[in-house]
Structure formats: structure tokens, C-alpha cells
Copies of this chain bind each other. A is one copy, B any other.
Amino acid sequence: MQIAFLFYDGMTALDAIGPHEILCRVPGAKVQRVAKKAGAVRTDSAGLELIADYALADVSYVDILVIPGAGSATTLRDSPEILAWIRSIHATTQWTTSVCTGSLILGAAGLLSGLRATTHWAVMDRLSAWDVEPVSERIVESGKIITAAGVSAGIDMALILAAKIAGPQVAQTLQLGIEYDPEPPFDTGSAKKANPKIRDALLARMSAQFENIK
């Protein structure tokens, strides 16, 4: 089982590393970190650099593709090569997945046209740029495409995916392995629950980063 994580400059580290921590431990999984070229990729998480082991050209099929999101749309504008690779890899996958604004990349690649999908709550309306039906749920399945909401939702998605590909016992073992029995200190992790002032300030900031994405 080949599982590829797309890495790119500007990506949000946790979008990838959350699901990676789970999926890399599925028995029989072979994980590939793939970027335009192999080597260091600079995340938008205070410049943390992650190493990609493979270039796009090295990888021509995978069973599962995971596309992390980014804190701004710059990547979307600069990535025709990545979008072409995603389209060709998607033809080979069993599951094509995204975390957070990674679904905007799937949208830009033309893979979500006419489908339901989710993304980070603050850019939900941007999905319509590619004829995608935005859905405010944590995980949305549309055929073989699974999209997850903002950043931390990738952890939930990966556990659901682990259950699909390896069964619930394996998924529960992985969940217990990362002691995922969350106790968020505040009950304000979604747009519906958050303090409106906090929500609106964050919405304004993130919207500005994703203006004119198309």
C-alpha cells in the first residue's frame, strides 16, 4: 500500500504530520513524501522545514494521496506542475484526500467539480470557485475523494481512512497509540461554537490570504 503525502513550500506542517503519524503506522503501508523536487520544503509553520524524499517525477501511482493545506493561496497560483501531477496520480488512487485548504488544491486541479467537499471553515466559500458544493462537516466523502476540515481534522480523517483500509481494530490500535482522547481546553474549536469576535477577526485575516484564488 503506497501512501503519498504531497509536500510543498507554504504548506501547514500539522495538516500533513497529523495524518502521517497515523497512516505511516498502518501495517504494510509504504509512505512517500513527494514534492516538486526532493529535499527541504519550507512550511508556513514558522519556517519549519520538512524533507521530501521524492520528486513528483519519481512517483507515478499511489494507493492513497494526502494533500495538506496552506495558510495562503500563493501555492495555488504557482503550482501548475503540482496540479498536473495530482490529476495523473488521482487516476491511480484508491483514495484521494485533502486536509484543510488542501481541498482548494483538489478544486484547482478540477477533481472536485460538481462534488461535495469541505475545507477550513474560514475559506469555505472559496470552494465555489471550482463548482464545488461546500459542506460544513468535519469529514466529507465524495466517491473516492475524502476532504477534511481545518488542520486538526486530518487526524480524524486518517483514523477513518485507517479503518477503511485495515479495519477498525487497526484504527483503534493507532488511535490508542497516539493516545487520542482529546481534551481541548476550550469548546471553541469550530466556527459555530467560537466567540463571534474571535471568529470574525480570524475570518477577515484568512479571507485576505485567499482572495482571488482563481
**Chain A contact residues, CB within 8 Å of chain B:** 12-14, 17-18, 20-21, 24-25, 29, 31, 33, 40, 45-46, 48-51, 100, 120-121, 138-139, 149-153, 155-156, 159-160, 163, 168-169, 171-173, 175-186, 188-191, 193-195, 198-199, 201-202
14 additional contacts, CB 8 Å, given A31-B48, A181-B193? Answer: A13-B21, A17-B45, A31-B46, A49-B51, A50-B50, A150-B179, A151-B177, A173-B201, A173-B202, A175-B186, A176-B190, A176-B191, A176-B198, A180-B184
Contact of A171 among B13, B138, B186, B193 (CB under 8 A): B186
Tell me the smallest distance from the CB of A117 to a CB of chain B, in Å. Answer: 15
Cα distance A45–B24 in the bound complex, in angstroms: 7
| Residues in B whose Cβ lies below 8 Å from that of A29 | 46
19 A-B pairs within 8 Å (CB atoms) are namely: A14-B21, A17-B17, A24-B46, A48-B50, A50-B51, A121-B179, A139-B183, A150-B179, A151-B178, A153-B183, A159-B185, A169-B198, A171-B185, A175-B185, A176-B199, A178-B189, A179-B190, A181-B190, A182-B184
| Residues in B whose Cβ lies below 8 Å from that of A188 | 172, 175-176
| Residues in B whose Cβ lies below 8 Å from that of A169 | 195, 198
Contact of A179 among B25, B46, B120, B183 (CB under 8 A): B120
B184 x A181 contact (CB < 8 A)? yes
Cα distance A104–B136 in the bound complex, in angstroms: 41
A189 x B184 contact (CB < 8 A)? no
Contact of A14 among B18, B190, B202 (CB under 8 A): B18
A194 x B176 contact (CB < 8 A)? yes
A181 x B14 contact (CB < 8 A)? no
| Residues in B whose Cβ lies below 8 Å from that of A25 | 46
Tell me the smallest distance from the CB of A189 to a CB of chain B, in Å. Answer: 3
| Residues in B whose Cβ lies below 8 Å from that of A198 | 169, 172-173, 176
Cα distance A171–B193 in the bound complex, in angstroms: 14
B49 x A20 contact (CB < 8 A)? no
